[in-house]
Amino acid sequence: MSRCGWLNKQGEVLRSWRRRWFVLKDGKIFWFKYDNVTPDTEPRGVIDLARCYSVKGAEDMINKPASFEISMPTGPQYFIADVEKDKEDWINAIGKAIVKHSRSVMNDDINDYTDS
């Protein structure tokens, strides 16, 4: 499952909103300053969804329409889509990626408690 598109992301230091091009691929979300991404383009940042807990709408938290939150060990990250439909599509895609990648981590940790 991959997805790409423009989202507004809150800066981690200055807390101002910046428009970035996001790419969801292989259980990670990368963001870039521009949408002309090539294999040589360095991402501005990356979120490993295997380390994330959940994704949900965030209108109540930050008072902005079409916003959502990714819950991570370091705290929530907030994003704003251009329209509600984009927000829902991102939440669905990210949610599936979190489940898929957390399940593969859990399967590695399964212990066999049978008597055999």
CA distance 58 to 22: 18
Render pLDDT for 22-33 as a digit per residue (tens, 0 to 9): 999 999 999 999
Q: Is the pLDDT score of 14 beyond 70?
A: yes
**What number is the average pLDDT over the span 7-25?**
91
Q: Are 53 and 87 in contact (CB under 8 A)?
A: no
Quick one: pLDDT at residue 101? 84
**What number is the average pLDDT over the span 90-115?**
73
Chain position carrying tokens 């895609």: 93
What domains can be seen in the chain, in order of their start residue? 3-108 (2.30.29.30)
Render pLDDT for 43-57 as a digit per residue (tens, 0 to 9): 999 999 999 999 999
pLDDT band of residue 60 (cuts 50, 70, 90) is very high
pTM, 2 dp: 0.84
Q: Are 43 and 61 in contact (CB under 8 A)?
A: no
Q: Catalogue the E-assigned strands of the chain.
A: 3-10, 17-25, 28-32, 45-48, 54-57, 67-72, 75-80
CA distance 17 to 22: 14
Quick one: pLDDT at residue 37? 93
Collect all residues with Cβ–Cβ distance below 8 Å to 2 and sequence separation of at least 6.
23, 24, 25, 26
Mean pLDDT value across the chain: 89
N residues, the chain: 116
Quick one: pLDDT at residue 15? 80
